[in-house]
Structure 1
Amino acid sequence: MMSVANGVAAASAKEPMFSFGVIADVQYADIPDGRSFLGVPRYYRHSISVLQRAVNRWNKHGNIKFSINFGDIIDGYCPKDKSLSAVQKVLDEFNVFDGPTYHMFGNHCLYNLPRSKLVSLLKMPTHSDRAYYDFSPCPEFRIVVLDAYDFSCLGWPHDHPVTAAATKLLDEKNPNTDKNSPDGLVGVDRRFVKFNGAVGEEQLSWLNDVLQDASTLHQNVIICSHLPMDPGASSPAALMWNYDEVMAIVHRYNCVKACFAGHDHKGGHSVDSHGVHHRTLEAALECPPGTSAFGHVEVYPDRLLLVGSDRMANTEIHF
C-alpha cells in the first residue's frame, strides 16, 4: 500500500510548474455606466479598477510568470478620438505587472482601431501583422493564442478581400438587416452575427502544424481565444463562426487539455466529447464597484487550477 500511496503523491505535484494571470473583457471607456443589449449593467470606468486589483494581486503572489488578456481592452462606445489614449491608459496598468502580458483581439478592440495598429500597440510577438502566435513557458507546456477575427467583417479595410468574403458569408447565414442581431436564427446558428468571427485557412493550417509539433515534443497545450469554441461553455450567439473546424483539428491530437476564452461575459465551463475542457472567463466590465473578475491559472503536470477572484469561479481541470 505504501508504494501505491507514494506513487500517487509523486504523480500529483504539490507546487505548480508555473502560474499565469487571466483577465477578460475589461472594455474600459471614460463614459457613464450603461447596459448591454440584454440589459446587463456595464461599469465602463470601474473596469480599470478591476484590472488594477488584478495586477496588484498577481504582483503580490510573486510567482505569476506572465498574464493573458483575453481581448476587448476598451469598449465600442469609447469616443473614437479617445481610442488610442484609452488603449494606452489600460496598457499602462498592464505595464505595472512584473511580467509580460500576452494580448489578443476582441471585437471591441477592432471597433476602435485597425488590426495593424493594434498588433503594434499590443506588442504581439509575431513577425507580421498577424495576431496569432504560440509560446512555451516551460518545455512540457505550450500556450497557443488564436486570432478569432482573422476572418471577419471587423478590422480589415472596407475594400479588403477578407471583408468582402466575411460579409458574403454573413449575408448567407443571417437574413437580418442588423447583422449584429441573431433574431430568428436557431441554436448554434445564432453565432453568425457581425460581432463574431472565424479562424482563417492559413491560421487553421498553422494551428495543425503547432499541435503536430507539440504532440511530437510530448507537450500539453492550452488554447486561448477571445471567442469560445464549445456550445456547452457559451451562449450560441457568442461562439466562433467556425469553432467546429478549429475543434476538428484540436481533436486530431491528444495534446490540448483546455481552451480558455472571453467574450461571453457571464462565463461558462464544459468538457467536450473528446475530454477537452472549455472555460469561458467572466468579464471585468460587468463587475459592480468594489467587486472583481480576474484570476490566475496554476499549471501542474496533471491538472490546471484556475484560482478566481469573487466574480470569477474557481475551476479545476484534470487530465
Structure 2
Amino acid sequence: MASRPRSRRLRRTLLTALVIASVAVPTAGAARPAAVPAPAPPVLGPLAPVTDGTLDARYAATRDAVLAAERTAADYGDRRRAAALHAMAGRGRHFLAFDGRDGGRSVEVVGDLARADRIVVLVPGSDTALGSERFRNGAVALQHRLGERGAVLAWLGYPTPATASAAALTPGRAEDAAPGLRDFMAELRSARPAARLTLLCHSYGSVVCAKAAPGLPVAGIVLYGSPGTGAGSVADLRTTATVWAGRGRSDWIAHVPHLRLPLPSGELGFGTDPLTPEFGARVFDAGDGGHSDYLVPGSVPLANLARIAEGREPADA
C-alpha cells in the first residue's frame, strides 16, 4: 500500500514541473540568440520520377545548398555550425531536401532510393538538430539492417523542441510540422508507388506522426519512446496503417504522466500511453535500453524495427 501514495506524489511532482515549465520556459527562450543565417535554397522540382539521373541532379543541388550554408556560417563566425555543414556535404552523403535557415531542415537518404522496395522515414524527437550525428547514425544502422532492398530517409522537417522546454510538453510544434510530413509522404508515395513505406517516430516525433496520420499512404506507423500522441486511441489517428508501440525498459519517458490538461493557449501533455491496451497499438519488444538506444547496432529494438519495416512480425521478448 505504501507504493501507491509514493506513486501519487511522483505524479503530482511531475505535473507541477510540467506546469512550471509551461510558464517559465517561454520567457527564458525569448533570450536565446538568433539562428545562424543561411541563404535560401534552390527551388526543387517534383521528386518523381525517381531514377539515377534525377536523384543525382537533386543530390547535387542540395549539396550546393549545404556548401552555401557552410560558407555563410563560417562568415558569421559559427565554426561548429560550419563544421557540421561541411560534414553533411561530404562524399557519399545525399539529401532530397535542405534548407539551412531558421535552424535548418533536411531529408537525408541512406541507401538506394531508386531501387529500394522498403522505405523507412525516420521522424526525430526533441533535441535533434541539423547535422545531428546520432540521428544519422541511427539511419545508417537501420539501413544496414534492412540491406540493399531498404532505404532510410532521415526527415528533419521541423524545429524540434528542447527536451527541457515547454514546447516539448505541448503539441504546437507537432501541429506545425504535420502538414509538411503529410506532403512529403504523399510525394514519396507518388514517386515510389510500389514500395512499402513505414514511419518510425521517436519521442516527440510520435506526436508529429499522430498529427499527420489521417490518410497517410503508409503500411505502418511505429511509435517508440513516446510520451503519448495527443490521441486517445489508434482509432483517433484515422489511419489504415498498422500502428505499433514500443518502449525500452530503461527509458525515462515511462515516468512522464500521461495527462492532457487545458491551458489558455492550448493544452499540456499528450494523454494515453501508447503501450496501454486502451490505446490499441500492437506492442513490440524494445529491449532494455534507454531513450536514445532504439537504433543502436545489434540491439533488440533495432532488429524489431527493421522487421516491422520489412512487413514481418517482431521477435518476442
Q: Which band: TM-score by shorter chain?
A: 0.3 to 0.5
Q: TM-score, normalised by structure 1?
A: 0.32
Structure with the larger helix share: 2
Q: TM-score, normalised by structure 2?
A: 0.32
Structure with the larger strand share: 1
